[in-house]
C-alpha cells in the first residue's frame, strides 16, 4: 500500500546531493566530462498532455536510465495522449532555467529526478500552482505547497535481498574451504557518507549476515556519484586487502570491472551492483543488482493529473508494488539455492512478514559520521521508511563496518 508523508524533512537536511549522479561515463567505462544540457521533445498529437522530465544525466549511465525507462513506460501506457519533453544532463545548480522552460512550454506535470533539484522545484511549484511537480529521492514536500510531491522506492529491501545473494556465495566459499569464516569480508564502494548510502550498505550487510553471521564490511567513499577511475581503484584496493565480495552505491562499472579483472587473474572475488545489471561486463564475477523502478509511480502520477485526482504529498513502496526490483540472477556463478532464498525474502517483504525493523536490528550500536555524540542502539530495531520516502538511517555500525577512506 502506498504510504503518505506528514511533513518530515530530516533526510533532506542531512543528505545534500543525496541521490544524484556525477560524471557521465562512456561505454568503455572511462570517466568523461559532463555533457552539455540538451532537450528532447516527442511529436505532439492534438490535445496531448505535456509531461516534462529533468535528468541529471542521460541513458549512458544507470541512474538516469532507470528514470528514462519510466518515461518510456508513460509513453507506452498513454500513447498520443501525452507529449514528453525531457531535459538531459542538467546540473543541480543549473536546474531553474530548464524547469521554467518546461513550465512555459505548457507541461501539466514535471518529474525532477535528482535530489539537488528539490529546493528549486519546490520554489517554482509555488510560482506555477497549476503544474504538478514530482521530485524523486527527496522528502521536502509538505501540504503548504499542494502541487509539489516527493517519491522514492524503499530500496533497503532490494539491498537486503542483494545481501542474501552475496551471503549465499560467501557461505559456499566457506563450505568449500576457499575461505574461512574469519575472512568473510565485504568491500563497499560508496559515494558519500549520507543517509541513503549508509542505509543501503547497512541493509546489504544485514542481508549477508543473515547467511554468514561473521561477515564484516570495509567502506571506501569516493565523494562522487560517478568517478570510474576512483571507483575501480578503490575496489581493486579492497580486493587486494582480501575482500571476497565487492558491492557499490556509485554509478559506474568500475567496481564490476575491477572484480572481473581480478577474477581473470585467479583471485576469488564476486560483485553485486546497483541500478543496472553488470553481468554483461563481468560475467564471471557479477552476481546481481538491485534497482528502483520508477514506472509505477510516474505512470500513476500522469493518470492522476489526467483525471484531476489529488497526488499524495510523499509516496513510497517496495517489492509489494513493484517499486523495487532485482536484476536477473547470474545463475552461472550464483550459489545453489540462491534464487529460492531470494524469492522467499521478496515474498516475505510483500506479505509484510519481513520489515525494516527486522533488518536494522540486533546487538549493534552505530555512530552518526557527522556527529560522534549521536549514536544508536539497534536492540529494538530501526523502522526505515516508516514516515517518509527518503532514507534516514545514517549510523555506521561499530565493530562490523570499517570506513577506510573518505577520499
At residue 47, the pLDDT reads 86
Single residue among 278, 307, 323 that ends a domain in this structure: 323
At residue 29, the pLDDT reads 35
**HSE of 56 in the Cβ direction (CA atoms, 13 Å)?**
30
| Coil, strand or helix at 355 | coil
62 and 112 fall within a common domain: yes
36 and 178 fall within a common domain: no
179 and 287 fall within a common domain: yes
At residue 251, the pLDDT reads 86
What is the domain-level CATH number for residue 54? 3.40.50.2300
This prediction's pTM: 0.88
Instruction: Quote the CA–CA distance of 75 and 79 in Å, as a whole number.
Output: 5
208 and 348 fall within a common domain: yes
Give every CB contact of residue 137 below 8 A, 6+ residues apart in sequence: 18, 19, 113, 114, 115, 150, 152, 196, 389, 390
55 and 101 fall within a common domain: yes
Single residue among 323, 339, 374 that ends a domain in this structure: 323
24: containing domain: 3-154+293-323
386 and 250 fall within a common domain: yes
67: closest CA among 277, 390, 389, 292?
292
332 and 204 fall within a common domain: yes
270 and 225 fall within a common domain: yes
Cβ atoms of 355 and 324 closer than 8 Å: no
237 and 100 fall within a common domain: no
At residue 5, the pLDDT reads 35
At residue 139, the pLDDT reads 85
15 and 101 fall within a common domain: yes
Cβ atoms of 263 and 285 closer than 8 Å: yes
Binned average pLDDT, 10 residues per bin, the chain of 407 residues = 36 39 33 58 77 93 91 97 97 96 98 95 98 94 95 97 98 98 97 94 98 98 92 98 97 95 97 95 98 97 97 97 97 98 98 97 96 97 95 96 85
Identify the H or E element spanning 198.
helix 195-209
Domains in the chain, number: 2
309 and 334 fall within a common domain: no
98 and 79 fall within a common domain: yes
At residue 2, the pLDDT reads 37
Instruction: Quote the CA–CA distance of 284 and 259 in Å, as a whole number.
Output: 9
Amino acid at each position: 500500500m502506498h504510504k503518505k508523508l506528514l511533513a518530515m524533512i530530516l533526510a533532506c537536511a542531512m543528505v545534500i546531493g543525496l541521490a544524484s549522479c556525477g560524471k557521465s561515463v562512456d561505454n568503455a567505462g572511462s570517466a568523461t566530462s559532463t555533457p552539455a544540457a540538451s532537450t528532447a521533445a516527442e511529436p505532439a498529437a492534438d490535445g496531448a498532455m505535456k509531461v516534462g522530465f529533468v535528468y541529471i544525466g542521460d541513458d549512458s549511465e544507470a541512474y538516469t536510465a532507470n528514470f528514462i525507462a519510466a518515461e518510456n513506460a508513460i509513453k507506452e501506457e498513454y500513447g498520443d495522449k501525452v507529449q514528453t519533453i525531457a531535459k538531459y544532463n542538467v546540473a543541480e545548480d543549473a536546474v531553474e532555467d530548464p524547469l521554467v522552460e518546461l513550465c512555459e512550454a505548457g507541461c501539466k506535470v514535471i518529474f525532477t529526478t535528482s535530489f539537488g533539484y528539490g529546493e528549486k522545484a519546490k520554489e517554482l511549484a509555488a510560482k506555477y500552482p497549476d503544474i504538478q511537480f514530482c521530485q524523486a529521492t527527496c522528502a521536502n514536500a509538505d501540504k503548504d505547497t499542494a502541487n509539489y510531491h516527493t517519491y522514492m522506492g524503499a530500496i533497503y529491501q532490494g539491498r537486503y535481498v542483494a545481501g542474501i545473494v552475496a551471503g549465499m556465495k560467501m557461505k559456499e566459499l566457506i563450505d568449500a574451504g576457499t575461505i574461512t569464516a574469519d575472512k568473510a569480508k565485504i568491500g563497499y564502494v560508496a559515494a558519500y557518507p549520507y543517509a541513503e548510502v549508509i542505509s543501503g550498505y547497512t541493509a546489504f550487510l544485514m542481508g549477508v549476515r543473515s547467511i554468514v553471521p561473521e561477515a564484516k564490511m570495509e567502506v571506501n567513499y569516493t565523494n562522487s556519484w560517478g568517478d570510474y577511475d576512483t571507483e575501480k581503484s578503490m575496489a581493486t584496493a579492497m580486493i587486494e586487502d582480501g575482500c571476497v565480495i565487492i558491492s557499490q552505491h556509485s554509478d559506474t562499472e568500475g567496481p564490476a570491472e575491477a572484480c572481473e579483472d581480478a577474477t581473470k587473474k585467479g583471485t576469488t572475488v564476486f560483485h553485486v551492483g546497483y541500478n543496472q545489471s553488470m553481468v554483461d561486463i563481468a560475467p564471471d564475477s557479477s552476481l546481481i543488482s538491485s534497482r528502483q523502478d520508477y514506472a509505477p509511480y510516474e505512470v500513476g502520477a500522469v493518470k492522476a493529473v489526467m483525471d484531476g485526482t489529488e497526488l499524495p504529498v510523499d509516496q513510497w513502496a517496495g517489492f509489494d508494488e513493484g517499486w523495487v526490483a532485482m536484476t536477473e540472477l547470474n545463475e552461472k556463478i550464483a550459489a545453489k539455492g540462491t534464487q529460492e532464498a531470494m524469492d522467499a525474502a521478496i515474498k516475505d517483504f510483500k506479505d509484510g512478514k519481513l520489515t525494516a525493523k527486522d533488518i536494522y536490528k540486533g546487538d549493534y550500536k552505530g555512530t552518526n559520521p557527522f556527529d560522534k555524540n549521536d549514536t544508536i542502539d539497534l536492540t529494538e530495531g530501526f523502522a526505515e521508511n516508516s514516515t517518509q520516502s527518503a532514507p534516514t538511517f545514517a549510523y555506521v555500525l561499530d565493530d562490523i563496518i570499517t570506513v577506510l577512506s573518505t577520499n
